[in-house]
Amino acid sequence: MTEHLITDLKAAVRSIPDYPKPGIVFRDITTLLGDAGAFRRAVDELVHPYAGRRIDKVVGIEARGFILGGAIAHQLSAGFVPIRKKGKLPHETVRIAYSLEYGVDEMEVHTDAIGGGERVILVDDLIATGGTAVAASNLLRQIGADIVAACFIIDLPDLGGARKLRDIGVPVRSLMEFEGH
Ligand code: AMP
């Protein structure tokens, strides 16, 4: 990935200071998604290492992970599986509690969404503390998934989330980094 492309994609992300609370800089990817060229290039770059490899399912984390995950699944000819906030999925689920950079919540996935040993890629827009993605990885492993990688547009390395994921054996791919929170 060229420096030029990274600069272009970074410029397509809108940064909003003190949202949703003082001290947080919200990295808003809606501007990147709304830019046809940036959206396409971001998805192309994310899938690049996995093209031609067997990927059975792409798992998106609600809600921004759904947008990217759908596009990535299509590109890799894989199925798409949603991880949702509790109470939204209609069939039998497994559930896990997790802490966010700003709050606590529970997420769940359909028990039968992934077959044992299926190769999956986990997708979200951003990794911060890693609380969300580590919980999602643990949830997926509970139902037998083989996690090939976790993909994000943005990594906030100062918060250590990518390192936590790698520590539990999940390879991490991200397109850009921002300093701080
Ligand atoms: P974490 O669990 O701390 O890694 O937080 C990741 C989740 O929170 C992702 O679903 C992000 O969309 C969201 N998030 C956390 N921090 C930010 C931020 N600074 N800007 C935008 N989204 C964020």
What's the DSSP call for residue 179? S
Residue with the bigger pLDDT between 38 and 181: it is 38
Is the distance from the beta carbon of residue 64 to the nearest atom of ligand 1 less than 6 Å?
A: yes
Which pLDDT belongs to residue 102?
64
SS3 state at 91: coil
Which pLDDT belongs to residue 99?
86
Please state which of the ranges 71-75, 138-142, 177-181 shows the lowest mean pLDDT: 177-181
In this prediction, what percent of the chain has a pLDDT beyond 70?
A: 99
For residue range 110-156, list pLDDT tens digits in order.
999 999 999 999 999 999 999 999 999 999 999 999 999 999 999 99
143 Cα distance to chain centroid: 18
SS3 state at 62: coil
Q: What mean pLDDT, rounded, does the chain reach? A: 96
Domain boundaries, the chain: 54-177
CA dist 138 to 16, 94, 95, 118, 176, Å? Answer: 31, 11, 10, 15, 25
- Identify which of 18, 28, 31, 132 to mutate to test ligand 1's pocket (most ligand atoms within 8 A of the CB): 132
What predicted TM-score, i.e. pTM, was given to this entire model? 0.97
Find the mean pLDDT for residues 12-35: 96
Instruction: Quote the radius of gyration of the chain (alpha carbons, Å).
Output: 16
Strands (E) in 18-118, as ranges, are: 25-28, 57-61, 79-85, 93-100, 103-110
- Give the HSE-up count for residue 62: Cα atoms under 13 Å, Cβ half-sphere: 13
- Ligand 1 centroid–CA 6 distance in Å is 20
Q: By C-alpha distance, which of 171, 169, 164 is closest to 128?
A: 164
SS3 state at 63: coil
Q: Does domain 54-177 have CATH number 3.40.50.2020?
A: yes
